[in-house]
Structure 1
């Protein structure tokens, strides 16, 4: 039920006059014997109406007509609000003063634990606040269900003049149920002027809430640049860890929420042990987690490692793994920048682990393998042999990965294994054979192909019956001389002393363009 509505059929005649501030009519009704203590459906009397409307004259008449003034002046609504509460809430100084003189209880709390002083602070009524305090109102008590003091509320509402008054009489370090001080509230909601008043009054800039969050961290998270600048200027510690897992710093919050201007300020004052330190978490991870390429760039530019440390907290081996697989589990756009982030990391030299290559071979997220190969190319040495073996173990996905690996410069002879010849489907096997001299295969391999053809599990291209063309044999000879990796690079091929028309042919583009493979 909305008790702010006016139900005139339940409101007394005297109360209606008091609501309008019609003191002459109130006086006449009282003289005629009308009752002043009839309550409406909200529990309001005529005195509540007079106090809420700010008619001090109506208040005077009503208090004079009450049988027991002290009881009447402190009568409660259904929500335990007194007339003084409404007068203070609405900033009616004269009415407040008259109600106090009439015995109004300045310490009475409503059902939601709000006092007249708290209500006046909330409304920004400085003169009423000063009057209530001068009459003995409690300034340091908890005045809300969350345990906020009046100073918390004044800061939250941004009532700077009231904050200036309260800091000299309130506890600056009062905490609510979450361990949050008024200064923390100022940092959280960007109340720069209130924050300045509190800092100048001596409030602790390095206070920590129950979860160990600091004002600097919350200001960085919420993007309040001027508050961050003020806190840093007043010696707020950017290296004070801010949660029980002992890794989150203000720089992490700035990175996760792309507060780039704040991030740039924090980079220069934050210790680098969080970058690759054991048991820590690099802010690089938070940029990736938040899908924030804009905050990733300044971190990398200032020397943060694109590889960071193994992050057990997030379950990823490195930031690149997080970026690559982010969009596979989040389809709502939260990680919409994952491709761009992966590109930034790869361009910065992020190492691609064998495990990442292997996952990319499976083609669950098709754009990953081309992206990795474009920036990092193929691994070398033992890792390359391991990648080939992993590829052979993923033969069902060969229609997806085979063209990509060959285009990246993988020597096709590395894939000429019995497993490939025995198990690959026709289109995969035919595609691979186009990159070699199919007439010069060892007899054991030719035997496998002959058997599969007889069994009907392989249907070769018709030209495999013939000797390869001389031009094909020539490009195979060039590849043998310079290597598959070199031949895969257009920049290298363009420097060769051959006609431009032959450059694509030398890179086997005629074969690649004739076949389109997608993951099954």
Structure 2
């Protein structure tokens, strides 16, 4: 291995840039100590030495919001190679300028100084953000007003979801910033799902932002790429105020919102049991959806999802238990026929005794989770094993929520689950200790080429995997499902993620020919309108 010549080593100063993570001037700027900054500059210390993040003294001063330090460092940086303009626009390894860092943290005075020094107001970072977008995200209204008044671009997209600043302001519920941006922004700017800012407001229940956009002239009947409308998404999420506001300003409850079937906002309200929203939509939705040819009565959806309150309200308001014949579309003749079929279904025949499946939970209850009792766990498993062909949808949710995976190691599951789902389930257990009958099922499926196991299933599980299984045993399934105990363990984030099985890829959903036409339509409905922002 060749060595570096002494002449080169002598010309490199390793102590200045990395002595204490940052240079001396940068460290002083970080603490906002103007006297020390001035003293170091006067003694000849560089303001342009960078740390392992690519930060120099100006970045530190801007992030700290020290107007005086920014001013002094800018004056000293003007003499660096490239001049003042290059220095003020120098970027960190993440592509962040000093102006970006100041805007991100809401340091108005620092942003003003940097703009006066000709900082690039629209400079993009490596992840497509910019000073304006970062200020919007942080809710820094005064900085947003300044940047907009200085000509910052308001309609550029800044995320992999193609969101504009207006999308982000609405998503965060920063109504004052929405007012600032609404005047000069494209109100109908589409993201990658053709979702407008008004749609975002309806989806996330940002009623004040929604009202601002409506009054500014945004289209209340805009449709996303999958034909969802703001009214449908607000009905699905149960945002009563947004539903009322949209209807009061001309939103049409009779626009079809799916390419797969005649879906209306009333169907979404029924499925998710939002009774207040349903009551309002019953009064405004055309009754042709109840018995009209080619339509689907909301009663079908209410029965499919066991929404008894919705069923009762629809019947009380005159929706017919006979409705239209949906044999061609759903393979069901009427809502009454559907109710009778569901009553005769007995999926519990697959479930063994679960007397030892749960214990009384002694861990503190977490407000975001529900502690399931023994009958509830049994019913949950009954429903799950009756929907094995959709296991790619529900299995990751149950296992990552803490459900004891051995409860799902049933012959029916191993016989019916597709290859990806089966591999995913086995990743949550010690696959080398399965009972002989279950191993027999796996061997048969392997021979029949209906299951392609992961290569490592032929080996003994590694120590790290058995250790995390033991951790889950010690914590207990009731504690895992009832609390966020794993997330609160005092371990490094990577280890925490490993304990939560985040290293295991979720199985992809593949259409199963064994699914009934009704199940196919319901799955399409479940996978529709779940628009999520990717930062």
TM-score by shorter chain over 0.5: yes
Gaps of 5+ in 2: 1-17, 351-377, 384-535
Once the two structures are superposed, residues 74-114 of structure 1 have per-residue CA deviations (whole angstroms, 9 ceiling, x without a partner) of 11122111111111111111100111111211111112211
* Cα distance, 1:254–1:27 mapped onto 2, change above 3 Å: same
Kindly state the Cα deviation for residue 241 of structure 1 after the two structures are TM-superposed. 0.7
The structure number with the bigger radius of gyration is 1
Report whether the alignment pairs 1:85 with 2:100.
yes
Counterpart-to-counterpart distance in 2, 1:175 and 1:265: 29
Counterpart-to-counterpart distance in 1, 2:115 and 2:346: 63
Once the two structures are superposed, residues 164-187 of structure 1 have per-residue CA deviations (whole angstroms, 9 ceiling, x without a partner) of 111111111111111111111111
Contact 2:347–2:382 under 8 Å retained in 1: no
User: Counterpart of 2:326?
Assistant: 310
| Alignment counterpart, residue 169 of structure 1, candidates 171, 177, 184 | 184
Kindly state the Cα deviation for residue 46 of structure 1 after the two structures are TM-superposed. 1.4
Counterpart-to-counterpart distance in 2, 1:317 and 1:128: 60
Kindly state the Cα deviation for residue 287 of structure 1 after the two structures are TM-superposed. 1.4
Kindly state the Cα deviation for residue 333 of structure 1 after the two structures are TM-superposed. 3.1
Report whether the alignment pairs 1:143 with 2:190.
no
| Alignment counterpart, residue 44 of structure 1, candidates 55, 72, 89 | 55
Report whether the alignment pairs 1:25 with 2:36.
yes
User: Counterpart of 2:339?
Assistant: 320
- The root-mean-square deviation of aligned C-alpha atoms, in Å, is 2.3
Contact 2:25–2:57 under 8 Å retained in 1: yes
Kindly state the Cα deviation for residue 130 of structure 1 after the two structures are TM-superposed. 1.1
Counterpart-to-counterpart distance in 1, 2:65 and 2:199: 35
* Cα distance, 1:88–1:322 mapped onto 2, change above 3 Å: farther
- With a CA cutoff of 8 Å and minimum separation of 6, indicate the structure with the bigger relative contact order: 2
Once the two structures are superposed, residues 223-270 of structure 1 have per-residue CA deviations (whole angstroms, 9 ceiling, x without a partner) of 100110111111100001101124110000000000000001101111
Kindly state the Cα deviation for residue 272 of structure 1 after the two structures are TM-superposed. 1.7
**SS across alignment from 2:222:** coil
User: Counterpart of 1:209?
Assistant: 224
TM-score, normalised via structure 1 length: 0.61
The 5 Å alignment of 1:5-404 reads 9-66=20-77, 67=80, 68-308=83-323, 309-310=325-326, 312-318=328-334, 319-320=338-339, 323-324=342-343, 328=347, 333=380
Once the two structures are superposed, residues 164-222 of structure 1 have per-residue CA deviations (whole angstroms, 9 ceiling, x without a partner) of 11111111111111111111111111111111111111111101111110000000110
**SS across alignment from 1:9:** coil
* Cα distance, 1:56–1:278 mapped onto 2, change above 3 Å: same
User: Counterpart of 2:399?
Assistant: none
Counterpart-to-counterpart distance in 2, 1:88 and 1:124: 10
TM-score, normalised via structure 2 length: 0.59
Contact 2:223–2:230 under 8 Å retained in 1: yes
* Cα distance, 1:163–1:289 mapped onto 2, change above 3 Å: same
Counterpart-to-counterpart distance in 2, 1:307 and 1:237: 26
Counterpart-to-counterpart distance in 1, 2:135 and 2:327: 50
* Cα distance, 1:27–1:275 mapped onto 2, change above 3 Å: same
Counterpart-to-counterpart distance in 1, 2:127 and 2:251: 35
**SS across alignment from 1:203:** coil
Kindly state the Cα deviation for residue 314 of structure 1 after the two structures are TM-superposed. 4.3
Gaps of 5+ in 1: 1-6, 337-520
Contact 1:290–1:334 under 8 Å retained in 2: no
* Cα distance, 1:110–1:327 mapped onto 2, change above 3 Å: farther
Kindly state the Cα deviation for residue 316 of structure 1 after the two structures are TM-superposed. 3.6
Contact 2:61–2:70 under 8 Å retained in 1: yes
Counterpart-to-counterpart distance in 2, 1:217 and 1:152: 19
**SS across alignment from 2:380:** coil
